[in-house]
């Protein structure tokens, strides 16, 4: 097997690791909504910003971020309790975190394997220099 073919095959785990780390990062910035009830925003900002779920009060009213008070329909009130932003984001970010962890582990293992291969292929100090090529 040629060296270029070996290098191409060796780069496959690196590309898989990169995709497994970048994919979840993209998933974490795609906005999530709870239609009619709350705009959850990006999962990363929801989790890191400490946002909370919006629930209607006893009159079925919610205060929007712009300060406007809206009255929700009965269906929207039920949706506020049945389809919370935190549950929607957890359903998206849980698997994404697992894929990211897999990508990180694969990247570290690939790095260690490539370092060992480089170390084994490196010339040793005690080895004599290669003989000059004669024509």
Q: Compute the average pLDDT of residues 106-122.
A: 85
Q: Is 97 among the domain residues?
A: yes
Q: Is 131 among the domain residues?
A: no
Average pLDDT, the chain: 84
User: Does the pLDDT value for residue 22 go beyond 90?
Assistant: yes
Q: Compute the average pLDDT of residues 17-42.
A: 87
Q: Is 33 among the domain residues?
A: yes
Distance in angstroms (rounded) separating the CA atoms of residues 85 and 40: 6
Q: What is the pTM of this model?
A: 0.69
Q: Are 60 and 71 in contact (CB under 8 A)?
A: yes
Q: Do β-strands 69-71 and 61-63 pair in parallel, antiparallel, or remain unpaired?
A: antiparallel
pLDDT number for residue 94: 92
Q: Is 51 among the domain residues?
A: yes
> What are 103's two structure tokens?
């990508």
Q: Is 62 among the domain residues?
A: yes
List the domain range (segments joined by +) for residue 113.
Answer: 9-120
For the chain, the domain total comes to 1
Q: Compute the average pLDDT of residues 31-52.
A: 84
Q: Compute the average pLDDT of residues 42-61.
A: 85
Q: Is 21 among the domain residues?
A: yes
Of 12 and 38, more confident: 12
> What are 66's two structure tokens?
């712009």
Q: Is 36 left (phi over 0), alpha (psi -120 to 50) or beta?
A: left
């Amino acid at each position: 097997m040629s060296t270029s073919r070996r290098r191409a095959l060796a780069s496959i785990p690196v590309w898989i690791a990169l995709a497994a780390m970048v994919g979840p990062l993209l998933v974490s910035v795609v906005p999530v909504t709870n239609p009619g009830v709350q705009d959850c925003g990006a999962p990363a900002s929801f989790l890191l910003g400490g946002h909370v779920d919006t629930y209607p009060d006893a009159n079925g009213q919610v205060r929007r971020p712009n300060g406007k008070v809206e009255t929700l329909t009965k269906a929207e009130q039920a949706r506020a309790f049945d389809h919370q932003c935190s549950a929607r984001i957890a359903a998206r970010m849980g698997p994404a975190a697992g894929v990211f962890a897999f990508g990180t582990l694969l990247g570290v293992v690939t790095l260690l394997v490539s370092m060992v291969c480089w170390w084994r292929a490196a010339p040793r100090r005690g080895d004599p220099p290669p003989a000059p090529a004669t024509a």
